[in-house]
Amino acid sequence: MNIDSIQTGIVIDHITAGRSMRLYELLGLGSLEGVSVAIIQNAVSHKMGRKDIIKIDADIPINFDVIGYVDPTATVNIIRDGKLVDKREIGMPETLVNVIRCKNPRCITSTEQELDHVFKLTDRRHEIYRCIYCETKAN
């Protein structure tokens, strides 16, 4: 398999194998006009065994909270002029705002459409987020 290197863009690396499509969806990468996005799944990794990688061939704004929610061990590499200019480790965000939606039909966010969907990290060890309004566990 041959995926060209990018000159300017973003590489999301060290994604736990199988989580790249969830990231792709939550980041809205499918709706980008004229931007090439490569998803590499189950790539061999000396550190992780297997991993996924997402390459975005454009310098676009990325919601790091989404990445931290889906896979807090992922890293983000910023590429400019073919060179790595920044490498960030993400970690788990304490709060998620409008990243995911509350599934509880009785939650106030179901009836009050203008309310933000806010989730707080309640259990770091088990990666559990709960809605701040009804305490429903995020999926």
User: With bands split at pLDDT 50, 70 and 90, how would you rate the model's confidence at 4?
Assistant: low
Residue 132 main-chain phi, psi, to 5 deg: -75, -15
pLDDT at 46 over 60: yes
For residues 82 and 17, membership in a common domain is answered with yes
What distance lies between CA 132 and its chain's CA centroid? Answer: 21
Alpha carbon distance 28, 7 (integer Å):
22
Give how far Cα 132 sits from Cα of 108, 110, 113, 129, Å: 10, 13, 15, 9
For residues 22 and 80, membership in a common domain is answered with yes
For residues 102 and 78, membership in a common domain is answered with no
DSSP-H helix ranges across the chain = 20-26, 64-70, 108-111
The pLDDT value given to residue 139: 79
| Least-confidence region, from 62-66, 73-77, 110-114, 129-133 | 110-114
pLDDT, tens only, 48-91: 899 999 999 998 999 999 999 999 999 999 999 989 999 999 99
Domain count for the chain: 2
